[in-house]
C-alpha cells in the first residue's frame, strides 16, 4: 500500500484494511525474504523482463529443437491419493491457509434474532446424512441507553490519547511485534505457529464481522461530536470489538501453546497485553468499554473452539458462552466502571448476570478435522 500523508496514510501503511480481507495475509509469505534476494526471486509471480529472458534462454539450452519432451526419471509415476490429509504439505502457505480455513469455518452456522436482539454461532456436525448442532457463542446486544451512558467513559479516556497514541497507531493491524516481545515469536522458530495465528485471525474475522453486521451498533462518534477519534475506524459496527476478539483469542492460544498453566506469570502478561490492546481502542475513541467485554468472551470461546478442532492435546472442548446485553442497566458497574479483564465468564459462582446464560460443560465436535490436525502436529513440535 502507498504511504500517504497524515493519519489516513499511516493507516494504509499498516495494511489494516487489507488485513480485513484475510487474503492479505499472503504478504506473510514475504517473511521468507529475510533469507535474501535469491529466495525472494523464486516466489510465485512473474517479472516481464525475466519471462522474456527465459524464452530466449530456453531456445539456447534446449537442443535439438523439435525433439520430444524429456521426462524426469524421478518424475511422478502415479498421482497422489485423493483426499489424503498429508497432501496439504504439497502446497504453499497461502493455499494451505485457504484449505484449512474452509475446513474450519465450513462447520459453522451464523444466525440472528430480531426478537432476542442477538446473533449466534453454532457448530454443525454431519454424520450419516444427519446434522447435529452445538452452540458456540451467542451475543445479545445492549440497549442504546447503555451505549449513551458509556459515551462519558470514552470521553474521559480521551485524556490518555497523548500517552497512548503510539500504541494505538502501531496496533491498527494485529500487533504481532507486541506478542513477539513476550514470546520471542519469530519466523525462524515458529513458521507453522505463524500459519496457525493467521488461521485464528481469519476465524475471528469470519465470526465477528457477521455478528457486528447483525447487531449493528454504532461507534461512539455517532453519539457525541466531542469524541473526535484519533483514527479512522473501519466502516462497520463497534460491538463486539474486533481487536478485543483477536487479542484475547491470541492470548489464550499462546498460553496453551506455551504449556504454561492459566494464571501463571506468562498468562498474566498475555492477558494484560490483550486488555491493553482492547482498551487502547476506547482511548482512540472508536469503541465503548462494553465492546471489549463482549469481545473478550467471543475471543476466549473461539480459542477453545479452535483448539478443539485442532485436536490439541488436553483440549476439553469449548464452553458455549452467552453475553446478555439486554440485562444490563445504564447504572450497572460494567457500564459505569468499564471493562474488567478478570471477570469470570463461566462457573457456578461469581459470574456476572450478563454471562450467567453460559454453559457449564464443554462441547466437543463429533467429526474429526483431518487437515487441522496436520497443522497442529507441526505447531506443537515448535513448542517442545
321-324: strand order across its sheet = 108-113, 118-127, 130-140, 321-324
List pLDDT tens digits, range 88-113. Answer: 999 999 999 999 999 999 999 999 99
Residue 361 pLDDT: 79
List pLDDT tens digits, range 331-351. Answer: 998 899 889 999 999 876 778
Q: Which domains does the chain have, with CATH numbers?
A: 101-381 (1.20.144.10)
Cα 77 to Cα 368: distance, rounded to the nearest angstrom: 31
Contacts (Cβ under 8 Å, ≥6 apart) of 265: none
| DSSP 8-state code for residue 62 | S
Contacts (Cβ under 8 Å, ≥6 apart) of 232: 7, 8, 11
Cα 182 to Cα 185: distance, rounded to the nearest angstrom: 8
Tell me how crowded residue 193 is: count the other CB atoms within 10 A of its CB. 23
Cα 23 to Cα 205: distance, rounded to the nearest angstrom: 12
Cα 271 to Cα 174: distance, rounded to the nearest angstrom: 15
Distance from the Cα of residue 373 to its chain's centroid: 19
Kindly tell me if the per-residue pLDDT of 287 is higher than 90: yes
Per-chain mean pLDDT for the chain = 87
Rg (CA), the chain: 24
| DSSP 8-state code for residue 357 | T
Q: Which one has a higher pLDDT value, 344 or 128? A: 344
Extract the C-alpha cell encoding 142: 445492549
Beta bridge partner(s), residue 111: 120
Kindly tell me if the per-residue pLDDT of 366 is higher than 80: no
Extract the C-alpha cell encoding 214: 447483525
List pLDDT tens digits, range 173-192. Answer: 999 999 999 999 999 999 99
Cα 28 to Cα 300: distance, rounded to the nearest angstrom: 25
Closest CA to 381 of 196, 190, 155, 197: 190
pTM for the predicted model, two decimal places: 0.86
Cα 252 to Cα 302: distance, rounded to the nearest angstrom: 10
Query: Helical H runs in the chain?
Result: 6-14, 16-20, 37-40, 48-61, 93-105, 144-157, 161-170, 176-183, 191-215, 242-258, 265-283, 289-310, 333-336, 370-381
Work out the average pLDDT over 210-235. Answer: 95
Q: pLDDT band for position 1 (50/70/90)?
A: very low
Cα 371 to Cα 102: distance, rounded to the nearest angstrom: 10
Q: pLDDT band for position 356 (50/70/90)?
A: confident
β 118-127/130-140 pair status: antiparallel
Peptide bond connecting 383 to the previous residue in cis, omega within 30 degrees of 0: no
Residue 16 pLDDT: 40
Q: pLDDT band for position 235 (50/70/90)?
A: confident
Residue 19 pLDDT: 41
Residue pointed to by grid coordinates 498475555: 270
Residue 365 pLDDT: 79
Phi and psi (nearest 5°) for 53?
A: -65, -35
Tell me how crowded residue 272 is: count the other CB atoms within 10 A of its CB. 13
Amino acid at each position: 500500500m502507498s504511504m500517504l500523508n497524515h493519519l489516513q496514510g499511516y493507516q494504509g501503511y499498516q495494511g489494516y484494511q487489507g488485513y480485513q480481507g484475510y487474503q492479505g495475509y499472503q504478504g506473510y509469505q514475504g517473511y521468507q525474504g529475510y533469507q535474501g534476494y535469491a529466495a525472494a526471486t523464486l516466489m510465485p509471480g512473474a517479472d516481464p523482463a525475466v519471462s522474456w529472458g527465459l524464452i530466449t534462454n530456453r531456445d539456447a539450452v534446449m537442443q535439438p529443437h523439435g525433439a520430444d519432451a524429456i521426462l524426469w526419471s524421478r518424475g511422478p509415476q502415479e498421482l497422489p491419493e485423493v483426499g489424503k490429509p498429508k497432501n496439504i504439505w504439497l502446497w504453499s502457505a497461502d493455499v494451505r491457509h485457504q484449505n484449512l480455513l474452509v475446513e474450519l469455518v465450513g462447520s459453522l452456522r451464523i444466525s440472528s434474532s430480531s426478537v432476542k436482539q442477538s446473533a449466534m454461532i453454532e457448530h454443525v456436525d454431519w454424520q450419516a446424512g444427519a446434522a447435529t448442532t452445538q452452540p458456540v457463542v451467542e451475543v445479545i446486544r445492549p440497549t442504546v441507553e447503555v451505549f449513551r451512558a458509556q459515551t462519558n467513559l470514552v470521553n474521559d479516556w480521551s485524556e490518555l490519547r497523548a500517552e497512548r497514541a503510539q500504541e494505538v497507531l502501531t496496533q491498527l493491524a494485529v500487533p504481532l511485534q507486541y506478542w513477539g516481545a513476550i514470546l520471542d515469536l519469530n519466523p525462524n522458530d515458529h513458521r507453522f505457529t505463524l500459519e496457525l495465528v493467521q488461521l485464528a485471525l481469519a476465524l475471528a474475522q469470519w465470526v465477528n464481522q457477521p455478528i457486528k453486521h447483525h447487531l449493528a451498533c454504532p461507534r461512539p462518534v455517532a453519539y457525541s461530536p466531542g469524541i473526535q477519534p484519533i483514527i479512522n475506524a473501519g466502516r462497520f459496527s463497534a460491538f463486539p470489538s474486533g481487536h478485543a476478539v483477536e487479542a484475547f483469542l491470541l492470548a489464550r492460544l499462546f498460553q496453551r501453546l506455551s504449556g504454561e498453566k492459566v494464571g501463571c506469570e506468562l498468562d498474566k502478561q498475555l492477558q494484560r497485553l490483550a486488555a491493553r490492546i482492547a482498551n487502547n481502542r476506547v482511548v482512540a475513541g472508536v469503541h465503548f468499554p462494553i465492546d471489549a467485554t463482549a469481545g473478550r468472551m467471543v475471543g476466549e470461546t473461539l480459542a477453545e473452539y479452535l483448539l478443539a478442532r485442532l485436536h490439541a492435546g488436553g483440549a476439553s472442548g469449548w464452553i458455549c458462552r452467552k453475553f446478555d446485553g439486554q440485562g444490563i442497566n445504564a447504572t450497572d458497574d460494567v457500564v459505569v466502571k468499564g471493562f474488567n479483564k478478570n471477570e469470570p465468564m463461566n462457573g457456578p459462582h461469581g459470574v456476572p448476570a450478563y454471562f450467567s446464560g453460559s454453559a457449564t460443560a464443554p462441547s466437543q465436535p463429533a467429526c474429526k478435522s483431518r487437515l487441522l490436525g496436520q497443522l497442529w502436529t507441526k505447531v506443537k513440535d515448535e513448542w517442545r
